[in-house]
Amino acid sequence: MIEVRSFVCNPYQENTYLLFDETKECVIIDPGMYTGAEQNAVLNFIKEKQLKPVLLLNTHCHIDHVLGNKFVHDTFGLLPQFHQGELPVLTAVPAYAPQMGIRYDVSPMPQTFLEESGSITFGHSTLELIFAPGHSPAHLCFYSKADAFLIGGDVLFYGSIGRTDLPGGNFDTLMKSIKEKLLALPDDCVVYPGHGGETSIGFERVNNYYLR
């Protein structure tokens, strides 16, 4: 069984996720740690639980989801993995970070890219890849069928959807991703979004203004 722990990080209040199972192998998803306190909160949890980070994953590469990539690499030797279509998004960050008043430690580049479908494994656990562009050009979500949850990034939120006014965003593409990919998941699937509190596919299917 996969356990999920979230940490709210950086000025954008982004959710950084740690996933781990009984083997103690751990996946770090969208590390947004910005301050020393945020870095220490994640490190202390990893030490307390005696976890072994084995994968660094990004749902997408907007600045708030990659601020901690270099820290994770420097601390655990992990390179980020994401879909290759997000490379232009990542390489654009150093140019606009100063304009937004954000200190950015440049993320290392991947050696391995994730595909639009398939799965990744850690410990005794499997995460399925769901390609869900629209908020960003090549956004991925990570789905645990066995434990009925989705790490959804910035695709679907409690009562809302991801913004589409950033470079590479497209409203129609995002809606297609949600309706064809996410709403195909079971109603009891818990959605852990990139910002804000968790929700479920069933709740959003009935209550989300954008999906009615």
How does the average pLDDT of the chain come out, rounded? 97
pLDDT in tens, 92-145: 999 999 999 999 999 999 999 999 999 999 999 999 999 999 999 999 999 999
DSSP alpha helix (H) spans, 129-170 = none
Burial 92-110 (b: 16+ CB within 10 A, else e): ebeeebeeeebebbebeeb
Burial of 186 by CB count in 10 Å (0-12 exposed, 13-18 middle, 19+ buried)? exposed
Mean pLDDT throughout 199-205? 98
Pairing mode, strands 190-193 and 52-57: unpaired
pLDDT in tens, 151-182: 999 999 999 999 999 988 999 999 999 999 99
Q: Residue 23's pLDDT is what?
A: 98
Q: Can you give the residue ranges of every domain in the chain?
A: 3-211
Which strands, in side-by-side order, build the sheet including 14-20? 3-9, 14-20, 25-29, 52-57, 80-81
pTM of the model: 0.97
Rounded Cα distance, 34 and 51, in Å? 21
The reply to whether CATH 3.40.640.10 applies to domain 3-211 is no
- The one-character DSSP state at 159 is T
pLDDT in tens, 34-78: 999 999 999 999 999 999 999 999 999 999 999 999 999 999 999
